A and B are shown apart, each in its own frame.
Chain A
Amino acid sequence: MDWQALALTLKLAAVTTAILLAIAIPLAAWLVLSRSRWLAVLEALAALPLVLPPTVLGFFLLVLLGPRTAFGRGLTALLGHPLAFSFSGLVVGSVLYSLPFAVQPLVAGFSSVEPGLVDAARLLGASPFRLVTTLLLPLAQRSLIAAAVLSFLHTMGEFGVVLMLGGDIPGATRTLSIVLYNQVENFDYAAANRTAALLLGMSVLALAAIYLAGRTRGGRRA
């Protein structure tokens, strides 16, 4: 077992999930509560990674963050190193790629909160922040858990974006899915079996935890 790759994969998934929740909670709340005419455009953009091939997203990011664009050159100058082929670059790619897996459950959960409750809170002077923290999140706990677990698992299993944007640098960008690919390429099926079983087991356990949490908390369905 490549423990270094496992640790890196877990770290990538944890960092990505934390960033995703920080972005997805306000974004989902805005999508549910706002009546802006730009809503449909933003919803489409947030859902785009669902239909975009990961390699396409990875390629665009590779170009955008690389020396071919002014943005990439500016970013490199600012950070002192290129974002592509680094752990930070992987985080950026993972956040974009897994965005719908965090946003969609939260949108579903927030939408299921009775509009009369939202009106009541607004009439009582709740700011958008208070509305989210004291009403939407407590009433959509199960969706929050689903968003976190799906983001984590999706990041753990991603391959295309990681390979395009990060390559295969041990300790920096080599995740478990890259390790699995390498093992299969080297006909090391015994090791590949162990890696695949680990990824599969973690996914099953995490999904079971979501459903168990839903049953024991009696939370709302996402």
Chain B
Amino acid sequence: MLEFAFDARRGSFHLHVECRFASEWTVIFGPSGAGKSTLLRLLAGLDATASASRLSARVALDGSLLTDSTTRLWLRPGHRKTSMVAQQASLFPHLTIAANVAYGLPWLDEKERKSWVKELLQFAGAVDLANRRPQDLSGGEAQRVALARALAPQPRLLLLDEPFSALDGSASDALLARLKDWAHEHHIQTVMATHDATDALATSAEVALLHEGRLAALGPAAAVLASERLRLLDRLR
């Protein structure tokens, strides 16, 4: 279970949310500029100390505190059992795809690491890319590899920030479905930010509606996104 409360200001933007995500898969839905990426970065522990003086924050995962600004607890990224896949795949350009996926696994011996990397690339549909370089990949391929890399350290919390925007609709849906199964099997709580209502509705997940830095609603997708669903159906007619 993920619990968090943030009160953060950046310029004229004010993020003020307090929430508890109990579901295995939660979608944060909102238009561009609603604060989705800011929220995910704060959950990941990125940027936290940058604005510490203007930030009130508390994050707990399964009861363990990751961030608590009142006691100046800021667990560093990489120490929070949290992985993140952003819209930009940000693969390390000087490493092969296999080395990219293995980057977060320095403690594993080589045999175990190779086997785990292969399994992850197979899951992401990118096993044929293992020896290639990021600059030789399409946007969609890079996003598949970024997902495999994020899953490699076996996180407890997976944050996805519009992670499959470069994949076509059917490929994105297929990967999302596989990821849901993987997350369930490996006990990974997933929070995905999107501005695309079809993505939010496709997963039948718990949906948090974010509007101008505030949480406007939280509940089942069909209820929270009823108006978005009607709008999409209208478009199809």
Residue ranges of A at the interface with B (Cβ–Cβ < 8 Å): 35, 114, 116-117, 119-126, 130, 134-135, 138-139
**A119 proximity list for chain B (CB < 8 A):** 46, 77, 84, 86, 90
| Contacting pair B90 A125 (CB below 8 A) | no
A123-B83, A125-B153 known; A114-B104 Cβ under 8 A: no
**Neighbouring A residues of B84 by C-beta, 8 Å:** 119, 123
Instruction: Return A79 CB to nearest CB of chain B, in Å.
Output: 40
Number of A-B contacts (CB under 8 A): 53
Task: Give the one of A35, A116, A119 with max B CB within 10 A.
Answer: A119
Smallest CB gap from A135: residue in B: B92
Residues of A close to B116: CB separation below 8 A: none
The total of chain B residues at the interface (CB under 8 A) is 26
A116 to B47, CA, bound (A): 12
Q: Please determine whether B82 and A123 come into contact, CB atoms closer than 8 angstroms.
A: yes
**Residue from B46, B49, B86, B146 in contact with A122 in the complex, judged by beta carbons closer than 8 Å:** B46
Q: Please, which residues of chain A bring their CB within 8 A of the CB of B50?
A: 35
Q: What DSSP secondary structure best describes chain A's contact surface?
A: helix
Do A123 and B93 have beta carbons less than 8 Å apart?
no
Of residues 146 through 175 on chain B, the ones whose CB sits less than 8 Å from some CB of chain A are: 146, 149-150, 152-153
B-side contacts of A125, CB under 8 Å: 78-79, 104, 153
Between A120, A125, A139, the greatest number of chain B beta carbons within 10 A of the residue's beta carbon is seen for: A120
B160 to chain A, nearest CB (A): 13
A107 and B82 CA atoms in complex are apart in Å by: 29
**Do residues A124 and B79 form an inter-chain contact, with CB atoms below 8 A?**
no
Q: Within the complex, what minimum Cβ distance (angstroms) separates B159 from chain A?
A: 9
Interface residue B44 (Cβ < 8 Å from any Cβ of A) = yes
Closest to B41 in A: A119
User: Is the CB of B103 closer than 8 A to any CB of chain A?
Assistant: yes
Contact B104 A124 (CB under 8 A): yes
Inside 8 A of B149's CB, which chain A residues have their CB? 120, 124
Q: CA–CA, A206 to B208, complex, Å?
A: 59
Residues 56-98 of chain B, each 1 if its beta carbon lies under 8 Å from chain A, else 0: 0000000000000000000011110011101010111110000
B147 CB to closest chain A CB (Å) equals 12
A117 B46 Cβ-Cβ under 8 A? no
B93 touches A122 (CB 8 A): no
- Considering the complex of A and B, which 7 residue pairs feature the smallest CB-CB distances, nearest first? A125-B78, A124-B104, A116-B90, A122-B77, A120-B90, A123-B77, A138-B94
